[in-house]
């Protein structure tokens, strides 16, 4: 029961009323009038199975949040074999587990995606989209004989691209245990063939534009500097620089950092972009001769470019 103040039509004043969660009635504690009946309790259902009920007990919510991607929402039964149990009995228990919980494989995949997304601070929308992609693959029975870890990592990789909040294959690789970047890229190509997702079109957001704000924010760069990095990245398309998008972006950030009032060490840029310092230096060496064409004039004039260090 829960007590609070409400207006009683019989007492003609604000009185203390109580909600009886068993009968669903709202009762005036002054005159006993039932003010409302059959109300629905909108709060979460909590249960505790402690031996004694104390004021400081720790209640547990019954069940998890319902997942529409699962055939039974979130209802499942899992049976674990006891230590020393016979192999035949353990095998039967596993078969029974699959029968009572047909979404077991799907649930384990969702949990793995959730752990990776949490470690990379990936938003809920990308996580849900990765779940949808994985379920789509399972429904088509496309994952048979495939490395499940690489498929799960690639689902998150592709989902982030689709939502225009990309993560590099190297970042995904850092949270996907035992999965290489090559395997993630190969699995992403496999997803393209098995689904209607255009991975190549989605990859356009990974040409650096989707990473600018995140990298610059991690380095504490101002909005004006961030805008200069964005424009310089767009201008770099007119120059033939045969480096990866992340390497080019890291080198451009290094250029803008030298022209700004901020003193950002190369090692910090390497850490934020996850590009090796030597790789940034090599990319910088290729970009430096074209700095006058790449750096926007409103940000730095040609004589300002003399501040840039020699490659």
Share of the chain above pLDDT 90, in %: 21
Give the pLDDT score at 285.
92
Nearest to 215 by CA among 251, 184, 175, 181: 251
Helix segments in the chain, DSSP class H: 87-100, 104-119, 124-139, 148-162, 169-175, 181-194, 199-202, 209-218, 223-235, 245-259, 266-273, 277-287, 291-294
Share of the chain above pLDDT 70, in %: 72
**Mean pLDDT, residues 157-179:** 85
Give the pLDDT score at 93.
47
Residue 98 reports pLDDT greater than 50: no
What sign has the CA pseudo-torsion 266, 270, 275, 277? positive
Q: What is the pLDDT of residues 256-285, one digit of tens each?
A: 999 988 888 999 999 888 888 999 999 999
| DSSP symbol at 199 | H
CA 137 to CA 183: how far, in whole Å?
A: 17
pLDDT band at residue 303 under the 50/70/90 scheme: confident
Give buried/exposed letters for 63-86 (b at 16+ CB in 10 A, else e): eeeebeebeeeeebeeeeeeeeee
Q: What is the pLDDT of residues 209-244, one digit of tens each?
A: 667 888 888 888 888 999 999 999 989 888 888 888
Residue pair 163/123 in contact (Cβ under 8 Å)? The answer is: yes
Give the pLDDT score at 296.
92
CA 277 to CA 301: how far, in whole Å?
A: 27
| DSSP symbol at 310 | P
């Amino acid at each position: 029961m829960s007590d609070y103040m409400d207006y009683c039509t019989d007492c003609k004043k604000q009185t203390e009323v109580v909600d009886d969660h068993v009968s669903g009635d709202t009762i005036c504690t002054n005159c006993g009038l039932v003010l409302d009946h059959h109300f629905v309790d909108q709060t979460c259902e909590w249960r505790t199975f402690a031996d004694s009920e104390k004021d400081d007990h720790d209640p547990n919510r019954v069940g998890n949040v319902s997942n529409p991607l699962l055939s039974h929402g979130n209802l499942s039964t899992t049976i674990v074999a006891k230590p020393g149990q016979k192999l035949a009995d353990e095998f039967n228990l596993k078969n029974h587990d699959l029968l009572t919980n047909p979404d077991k494989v799907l649930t384990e995949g969702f949990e793995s995606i959730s752990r990776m997304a949490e470690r990379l601070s990936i938003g809920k929308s990308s996580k849900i989209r990765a779940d949808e992609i994985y379920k789509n693959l399972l429904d088509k029975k496309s994952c048979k004989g495939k490395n499940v870890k690489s498929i799960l990592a690639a689902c998150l990789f592709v989902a982030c691209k689709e939502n225009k909040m990309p993560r590099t294959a190297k970042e995904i690789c850092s949270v996907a245990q035992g999965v290489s970047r090559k395997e993630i890229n190969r699995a992403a190509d496999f997803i393209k063939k098995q689904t209607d997702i255009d991975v190549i079109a989605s990859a356009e957001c990974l040409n650096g534009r989707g990473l600018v704000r995140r990298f610059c924010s991690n380095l504490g760069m101002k909005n004006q500097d961030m805008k200069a990095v964005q424009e310089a990245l767009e201008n770099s398309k007119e120059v033939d620089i045969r480096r990866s998008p992340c390497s080019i972006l890291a080198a451009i950030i290094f250029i803008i950092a030298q022209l700004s009032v901020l003193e950002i060490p190369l090692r910090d840029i390497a850490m934020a972009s996850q590009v090796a310092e030597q790789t940034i230096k090599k990319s910088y060496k290729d970009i430096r001769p074209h700095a006058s064409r790449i750096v926007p004039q409103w940000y730095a004039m040609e004589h300002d470019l003399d501040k840039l260090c020699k490659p």
